[in-house]
Chains A and B, each alone.
Chain A
Amino acid sequence: MNELITIFLGLVLINNFVLVRFLGLCPFFGVSKKLGSAVSMGIAVTLVMTLASIATWVIRHYILTPFNIEYMNIIIYILVIATLVQITELFIKRTNLALYNAFGIYLPLITVNCAVLGVTLIEAAENYSLLGSVAAALGGGLGFTLVLAMMSGIREKLEMANSPKAMKGVPIAFLTAMLLGLAFLGFGGII
């Protein structure tokens, strides 16, 4: 149990995907203009990460390791993640339309999100158990959502702020990201 909490907290705060590992930077700047869309993007990423972690754990454990082909993991994981996203999208679209509309265009976008591939590869490298993989995926997703929500909250306020003309929009977002990254560096020694 202790180990799971360590994995979870480690990925939420200390090894945060966006600010410390620099994965998933595209949605970090692309989808962080509004709080609402940032949160739905974060939830979609968390969902896909968890599903992908379980699926890749099964494949790693029962196929890749017995056949001794762990070096092919990137290509297989991408295939598995793409399949999962397709299935999830089809399923949600035909069963729960309200949820599908809430996810909107973000769900298919996640197919190629490097944070999702990143979490599966990190699990493979650290050789986590199934529960550990789920904890890592939930932690990674929650960390991603947290950072996106913080960033979008700050950017919503920055829109109103009287910043210099040349700094408006993306430049000041980059500076904000730098300060956020520095702040997250402070979590470094917790565990």
Chain B
Amino acid sequence: MAPIIGVLAAIGLACGLIIYLVYIKVPQKVKGLEKTEELNAILPGMNCGACGYPGCFAYAQALTADPELITKKPCATVLQDSESLERLEKALGITLDAAAMLKKALIHCNGNSETIYHYSGVDTCKAAAQLLSGYKKCPYACLGLGDCVKVCPENAIFIDPEKNVAIVDTEKCTGCGLCVAECPQNLIELVPAGTKVAFLCNYKPIRDIPGREKCDFGCIHCRKCFKACEYEAIDWNKETALPEFDQEKCTLCLKCIEVCPQNTLADFTKARKEAELVPA
């Protein structure tokens, strides 16, 4: 028995040793790759793929070829971290306006639509959305089965257990946008991180009034928020019959949220956290 164990251990050790030898013997500094290696060291290295490249190394190669690329396809994780962003700016030789580029995911639903039938199928929104656009009364509602939760690399999305709706923890969210493509109801939008008021309804057909027909908390197009705003930060879009928010004029007085009879509006700056909903 002992020699057999010895042989097996020897094979394992030999394999490890060979990898180590190759690692130190093969020339480490590859010509034309120094810049890429330098950039790769700054990047987060978790290979999330949100930038559109297969892994951080491929992204570093693309950045080496074209430093301007970072403005078009930014790495969402680096944008969060001012220290590594500074190093990346220095390495690329350009300056970025991080605040303008930083995005956060916003889920346009407050999840109060009634359940119309009992769904017991596969535990994913994509399957549920195939049957009559989901089991909620509103065909645009968040189904709360958590496809976005599963895809989020930062664990920034969670399901509110009471309302059964997905909620983004804006502090953890890096704005990578992986969840946007995942949602079968197209509820998730990337909004600038400086967004102040969130509009939590996604009902599209203009002839219906979602707040009366589909959901207790949908927009009823009453224009109260538009009238309440003293700073002209809310504009009424007649085409869609929905309010539009000007984040620069908004002073975050929260009057619009107060007057909204349906609670369709919410304060986006208040970080909604798991801890608030689920007491420890």
Chain A: residues with CB nearer than 8 A to chain B? 59, 63, 67, 69, 72, 75-76, 79-80, 82-83, 86-87, 90-91, 93-95, 97, 101, 104-105
A142 to chain B, nearest CB (A): 26
Chain B residues near A (Cβ < 8 Å): 3-4, 7-8, 11-12, 15-16, 18-19, 22-23, 26-28, 30, 32-33, 54-55, 58, 61
State the CA gap A155–B28 with chains docked (Å).
Answer: 41
Which residue of chain A has the shortest Cβ distance to B6 in the bound complex? A67
Query: Assuming A63-B7, A94-B30, is B55 touching A87 (CB within 8 A)?
Result: no
Closest chain B residue to A64 by CB distance? B7
Q: Which 8 A-B pairs have the closest CB atoms?
A: A83-B15, A105-B54, A94-B26, A87-B22, A94-B30, A69-B4, A86-B19, A67-B7
Q: How far is the CA of A94 from the CA of B22 in the complex (A)?
A: 11
Q: Provide the residues of chain A in CB contact with B32, threshold 8 Å.
A: 97
Describe A's contact surface by its main secondary structure: helix
**Contact B23–A90 (Cβ < 8 Å):** yes
Chain A nearest CB: distance from B24 CB in Å? 10
Closest to A79 in B: B15
Extra A-B contacts (20), CB below 8 Å, given A86-B19, A105-B55: A63-B11, A67-B7, A76-B11, A79-B15, A80-B11, A80-B15, A82-B15, A83-B19, A87-B18, A90-B19, A91-B26, A93-B30, A94-B26, A94-B28, A94-B30, A95-B30, A97-B30, A97-B33, A101-B58, A105-B58
CA distance A91 to B22 in the complex (A): 8
- Nearest to B11 among chain A residues (CB) is A76
A63-B7, A87-B19 are contacts. A94–B27 as well, Cβ < 8 Å? yes
Q: Which residues of B contact A101 (CB under 8 A)?
A: 58, 61
Verify A83–B4 contact, CB threshold 8 A.
no
**Min CB distance, B83 to chain A, in Å?**
28
Number of A-B contacts (CB under 8 A): 52
Assembled-state Cα–Cα distance A105/B30 (Å): 19
Nearest neighbor of A90 in chain B, beta-carbon distance? B22
Residues from chain B with a CB closer than 8 A to the CB of A97 are 30, 32-33
In the bound assembly, the distance between CA atoms of A112 and B23 in angstroms comes to: 21
CB-defined A-B contacts under 8 Å, sample of 17: A59-B11, A67-B3, A67-B7, A69-B4, A72-B4, A72-B8, A76-B8, A79-B11, A83-B16, A83-B19, A87-B18, A90-B19, A90-B23, A91-B26, A94-B28, A101-B61, A104-B58
B residues within 8 A CB of A91?
22, 26
The distance in angstroms between the C-alpha atoms of A95 and B32, with both chains bound, is: 11
Report Cα–Cα, A79/B19, bound state, in Å. 12
- Contact partners of A80 in chain B: CB under 8 A: 11, 15
Do A79 and B30 have beta carbons less than 8 Å apart?
no
**Is the beta-carbon distance between B18 and A83 smaller than 8 angstroms?**
yes
In whole angstroms, how far apart are the Cα atoms of A30 and B130 in the complex?
23
